[in-house]
Structure 1
């Protein structure tokens, strides 16, 4: 499997777990905080199992800065969908414009300036 496909695929999967660990409990505000923390940690473990190999295998093909940029763009994309589909929250024009600026920043990271 090509390194970019493997790296990005693992980063997408890891972000699905982390988004669920960080924000999934917001629908269950009556749950005790200790239980929420423990469940979130259990959900986060698979995130690390996917994230670490993604960065290990992707580094060399991508720089560390590029890997972090890819992760942030994926994270925002997954979060936007999660927020809308799972939490039922809408994104306004200001959110979309802010995400567009972040995407522009990602383009700057990947553009060869040399």
Structure 2
């Protein structure tokens, strides 16, 4: 069973990516908003995202994750959060290309989590 400190970085990365996805892509639902307002709003949301991302990486690194493991985990979480956002918020459909990209990321994660060097 995974310890709390092992799961904490993952949970923080999920929170981080939810905020970052909204910051980067949420404005696509509001195309009539002025660009400068969208930029300021996105920066504000990104600040909240950093409050999750920085502790996720610090805690993970201090509890045995390598920087590479943290990065690939973040990328996989990003892909999952974005896919859900694209479907639910933007009304887009996922296809075989999305599945292929996800399979490649899983392969990359396997390489990062095998051994220490």
State the match for 1:62 in structure 2. 65
Instruction: Pick the aligned partner of 2:23 from 21, 24, 27.
Output: 21
Whole-angstrom distance in 2 between the partners of 1:56 and 1:109: 18
**How much does 1:2 deviate?**
1.8
- Count of residue correspondences: 114
Unpaired stretches in structure 2, ≥5 consecutive residues: none
Q: Measure how far apart 1:98 and its partner are.
A: 1.6
Please state how far the C-alpha of 1:76 moved relative to its aligned partner. 0.5
Q: Which one of the candidate residues 34, 37, 45 is aligned to 1:35?
A: 37
Q: Secondary structure at the match of 2:51?
A: helix
- Matched residue, 1:49: 51
Q: Deviations over 1:11-42 (max 9, x none)?
A: 10010000000000001111100000000011
Q: Report the alpha carbon displacement of residue 113 of structure 1 after superposing the two structures with TM.
A: 7.2
* 2:33 match: secondary structure: coil
TM-score by length of 2: 0.92
TM-score (normalised: structure 1): 0.94
2:80 to 77, 81, 96: 77
- Structure 1: any 5+ residue segments left out of the alignment? none
| CA RMSD, 1 decimal | 1.4
